[in-house]
Structures are given as C-alpha cells and as structure tokens.
Chains A and B, each alone.
Chain A
Amino acid sequence: GPKVLQIPSHQIIDMGQMVTLNCDPVSNHLYFYWYKQILGQQMEFLVNFYNGKVMEKSKLFKDQFSVERPDGSYFTLKIQPTALEDSAVYFCASSLEQGRNSDYTFGSGTRLLVI
C-alpha cells in the first residue's frame, strides 16, 4: 500500500547543533503529523500540520522545534538547537482527512541520538 518515507533512518548529532528530519508523506494526503517515542515509552503527539499551518501542538513541541512543507516537498521537523532530551524515535504520519478516512499512515521513524 501507500507508504510514508522518512529520511534519515538514523541520525547522531552533537548537542546544540541543528537537525532536520525529513518526511515524504502519502501523495494525496492532506494532514501531517510528528510523534516522539522514547524507548519503552508511549508514542507522544508533537504537532499536526494542514494547509501550510500548524493546527495543534503539544507541550513537547518546544520553541526550538519547527515544521514546514515548502511547495509540496518534504514535510520537515527541525530542531535548533538540539538538547540531550531530544534523543528519541521520531515518527512522521499522514492522513487523507480527519473524518472517516482518518487512519494514519506512518513512516518507519528516524532514530535521533543527541550526544
């Protein structure tokens, strides 16, 4: 079936540096999401993006985080500057709508390690 592609699959970065996580969503999907999962813990909502705008963000979506999808290219999550507690798996997801076709299609995640 349709897939969400996340690039890179793994990233190691020095604390304080900037990192950009890339997501190529399902081509006809309109809603985009980022989730954060620390090993062994719940997958937690970060942000929901639609029509070029953030619809909702959680308290985990700190000021150092930003998202964009310029001109239908990758949907990106940028962290600047990174902190040790940002180490986690970041999952991107997309959905066609928010009604009856609300099922999310997830990517396989980007494993981010901040050292």
Chain B
Amino acid sequence: QQKVQQSPESLIVPEGAMTSLNCTFSDSASQYFAWYRQHSGKAPKALMSIFSNGEKEEGRFTIHLNKASLHFSLHIRDSQPSDSALYLCAVRGAYKVIFGKGTHLHVLP
C-alpha cells in the first residue's frame, strides 16, 4: 500500500522568502508526482506535476523529483501572502492518486 508523507506539517515564512515543501513516497513504480493547493473551504487545485527525474519550473514554483530517493519537493521563490494555503503532494500508481496529509503554509506580510 502506497504511503505518502509530507513535511513539515506547517510552515510560517516572511513575505519574499524561499519556501520548501517535501514529500516522500513508498512505491518506486509510481508514475505521477504533483502538488495541489487548497485554500480553506475550496477545492484542491493542481499546481504542478512531473513524471521523470529532474526539475520543472513554472514562474515562482519549482518541482524537483528524485525517484531513487523516493522524494519530491516544491520550492516557492519570493513567497507571497496569497500563497498561504494547504499544500498537498500527490502520487499515482496504477489507478489512483494518493495524497499526503498536507503542509499548512502561512506567508506573513
């Protein structure tokens, strides 16, 4: 059974800081690795996804995957108060996506 774990559980950073969120998974055959963002009371929304080892950058957001280490991460450059939300990492095996418990990010103005 796939296990997906996130760290830290919560994070407070000042505006303008670099934020790093981590996710580990247990199934080395996993094929899809993604980050979702959920504002309170709203639907989770896909931020970025990656399928092979390496990095992918979109604007202020970078996702990094290391399958050998069973680890991927999300880095947010120049963090903004509007980035404050619950961040969920997601890993897919055959038919289903398993989500982590989430990291609560608070960016202080």
Point out residues on A near B: beta carbons under 8 Å: 4, 33, 35, 41-45, 48, 55-56, 58, 91, 98, 100, 102-109
B positions within 8 Å CB-CB of A: 32, 34, 36, 41-46, 49, 51, 88, 90, 92, 94-102
Question: Within the assembled complex, what's the spacing in Å between the Cα atoms of A105 and B47?
Answer: 11
Give which listed residue, A43, A44, A45, A102, contacts B44 with CB less than 8 A: A43
User: Is there contact, CB below 8 Å, between A103 and B96?
Assistant: no
Q: In the complex, which residues of chain B have a beta carbon less than 8 angstroms from the beta carbon of A103? A: 34, 46, 49
User: What are the 8 tightest A-B residue pairs by CB atom distance, in nearest-first order?
Assistant: A103-B46, A106-B43, A56-B95, A42-B101, A108-B43, A55-B95, A106-B44, A43-B99
Q: A residues within 8 A CB of B99?
A: 35, 42-45
CA separation between A105 and B36, bound complex, in Å? 10
User: Are A109 and B101 in contact, CB atoms less than 8 angstroms apart?
Assistant: no
Determine the residue in chain A with the shortest Cβ distance to B94.
A56
Report yes or no: B43 in contact with A102, Cβ–Cβ below 8 A. no
Residues of A within 8 A of B95 (CB): 48, 55-56, 98
Q: A43-B88, A91-B43 are in contact. Are A102 and B32 (CB under 8 A)?
A: yes
Closest B-chain residue to A58, C-beta based? B96
Question: Are B51 and A100 interface neighbours, CB within 8 A?
Answer: yes
Complex alpha-carbon distance, A109 and B96, angstroms: 18
Q: How far is the CA of A44 from the CA of B102 in the complex (A)?
A: 12
Across the interface, which residues of A come within 8 angstroms of B51, CB to CB?
100
Q: With a CB–CB cut-off of 8 A, which chain A residues contact B32?
A: 102
Roughly how many angstroms separate A35 CA and B90 CA in the complex, as a whole number? 13
Nearest chain A CB to B96's CB is how many angstroms away?
A: 5
